[in-house]
Structure 1
Amino acid sequence: MGTIDQEYLQASIEQFLSEANCLKTYAHCIAVGDYAYKLAEQFMADPHKAQIAGYLHDISAVYPDDQRVEIANKMGIALYKEEIVLPMIIHQRMSKEIAISQFNINDSEILSAIECHTTLKGNYSILDLVVFIADKIKWDQDGEPPYITGLMAALDHSLESAAYYYIDYLLHHGIQVTHPWLNEAYVKLKQQLEPA
């Protein structure tokens, strides 16, 4: 991967999101990227990839939920029925497309982490896990996430434990739809974490 200028990238993201009146999303993206970098330092050779993926993960906030099915179709994204029922979750896949088209990101690992930051997926990488967890810790709502204590305790064990804890929490607290990728990740994590 060619070196990406972090300051230039931040400034470009800020401009892109501010033009759509999404500065709250910009603050969230930077918080997730910076936290992902710190987390990745413990688990990865190149924490900058986690930072870049975090900075760009919610870049599709420029499109409101009621436009996402139409825009995703124009982008050539083949939608799952769960994404049509709950268009909010399309944003992870749209963010990947915007990272490619608007920000010239072509690193497949970074793009994968952006694409599955909300749901994770069955064939996840360490980078996918890092960005997924960073997004849940630095969530975009007010106050503390209701699951944060358990998630942080699980993170003391491993990235996989933290991801499993979060998905298990979701599945037992009225999740609106279960995306196929989320289910695949849950099954794989459970297999990995079960004692042999």
Structure 2
Amino acid sequence: MMLHVYEDQLSGFELKGNLKEDVYRFLVHGKCPKTAEHCMKVGEEAGRLARIVGTDPAAAEAAGYLHDVSAVYPNDRRIPIAIQLGIDVLPEEEVFPLIVHQKISKAMAEHIFGIKDVSILNAVGCHTTLKAHSSLLDKVLFVADKIEWDQQGTPPYITELLAQLDISLDHAAFAYIDYLCQRKETLKVVHPWLRDAHEELKRQLF
């Protein structure tokens, strides 16, 4: 068990046994109230999408609640924490540590919140970039997170994403990734998982 790594974040915090409430309290305890609200919204949206596409809504909700629990660690602590947890850190993640948060959230979901369901853990672990050979649950969480984005204002890609969602979940996932890839000169890095997902979906859909 890796709980010693999270000692500072767990000080004064106690799990009560209700995942949704525990995640919300954990993030507020870690001074991330906006992320707490975001995670609740993503959990609800993931559950809604899961019912539409025919995958487990409870698993989708759990993945949504958990996906950003690593927000309690600021960017400058993410690479050291990832290394402590034995996470494989890619060169792109070293350049832009924000992206490694998906892998840290996966570890925290297992270690702190006791998640054993590999499908939930895997979805949390690729919710920012997606990846090739992703599961239905991976895509549900990925798209839910983009619909309920955590920035100010309206997402610039949302009209196209929602239009494509009327066709399929895969089309919606592709719409967002393609939006990024068309603007890759403006990105700090292009994560290899994102690039792989883009190529795979493009082959499958077009």
Alignment TM-score, normalising by the size of structure 1: 0.94
> Per the alignment, in what secondary structure is the counterpart of residue 18 of structure 2?
helix
| Structure 1 position 45, deviation (Å) | 3.8
Residues 28-82 of structure 1: CA distance to partner in whole angstroms, max 9, x if unpaired?
0000000010011011242111100000000000000010000000000010000
Matches of 2:55 and 2:35, distance apart in 1: 28
Code of the residue aligned with 1:64 in structure 2: it is P
- Tell me how many residue pairs correspond in the alignment: 189
Query: Which of 75, 85, 93 in structure 2 is aligned with 1:83?
Result: 93
- List aligned pairs for 1:25-174, cutoff 5 A: 25-173=35-183, 174=186
Aligned to 1:4: none
Structure 1 segments, 4+ long, off by >4 Å, are none
Aligned to 1:183: 195
Aligned to 2:18: 8
**Gap regions ≥5 residues in structure 1:** 1-6
Matches of 1:45 and 1:155, distance apart in 2: 16
| Structure 1 position 175, deviation (Å) | 2.1
Matches of 1:102 and 1:145, distance apart in 2: 32
Matches of 2:159 and 2:87, distance apart in 1: 36
Code of the residue aligned with 1:188 in structure 2: it is E
Residues 5-28 of structure 1: CA distance to partner in whole angstroms, max 9, x if unpaired?
xx8112211221111110100000
Matches of 1:176 and 1:153, distance apart in 2: 28
Residues 156-181 of structure 1: CA distance to partner in whole angstroms, max 9, x if unpaired?
11111111110110112222211111
Q: RMSD across aligned C-alpha pairs, in angstroms?
A: 1.2
Aligned to 1:193: 205
| Identity in percent | 51
Code of the residue aligned with 1:180 in structure 2: it is P
Given the alignment of the two structures, is residue 17 of structure 1 paired with residue 63 of structure 2, yes or no?
no
Alignment TM-score, normalising by the size of structure 2: 0.89
Matches of 2:28 and 2:159, distance apart in 1: 33
Code of the residue aligned with 2:195 in structure 1: it is N
Aligned to 2:13: none
Matches of 1:22 and 1:57, distance apart in 2: 13
Matches of 2:114 and 2:181, distance apart in 1: 35
